[in-house]
């Protein structure tokens, strides 16, 4: 049973890492934006895309997360 908990924790850590290191680009207004870790984990996602709402224009769409550029 403990192996299940280890797997769950590892999946949550990976999701948190990906949420912190990726962003989305609105197809309507072009704004780059991030979403919080909890929203990233629990939002609807299909084939790698996540259902997100642009904070600038309010457009809702399934978008692929894009990796942040290293500085």
In sequence order, the 6+-apart residues with CB closer than 8 A to the CB of 37 are 15, 16, 19, 20
List pLDDT tens digits, range 7-46: 999 999 999 999 999 999 999 999 999 999 999 999 999 9
Q: What is the pTM of this model?
A: 0.82
Q: Kindly tell me if the per-residue pLDDT of 70 is higher than 80.
A: no
Strand order in the sheet with 66-67: 32-33, 22-25, 66-67
SS3 38: helix
Domain boundaries, the chain: 2-67
The pLDDT, as a whole number, for residue 69 is 86
């Amino acid at each position: 049973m403990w192996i299940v908990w280890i797997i769950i924790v590892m999946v949550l850590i990976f999701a948190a890492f990906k949420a912190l290191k990726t962003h989305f680009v609105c197809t309507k207004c072009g704004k780059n934006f991030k979403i919080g870790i909890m929203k990233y984990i629990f939002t609807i996602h299909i084939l790698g895309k996540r259902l997100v709402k642009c904070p600038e224009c309010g457009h809702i769409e399934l978008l692929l997360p894009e990796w942040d550029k290293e500085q």
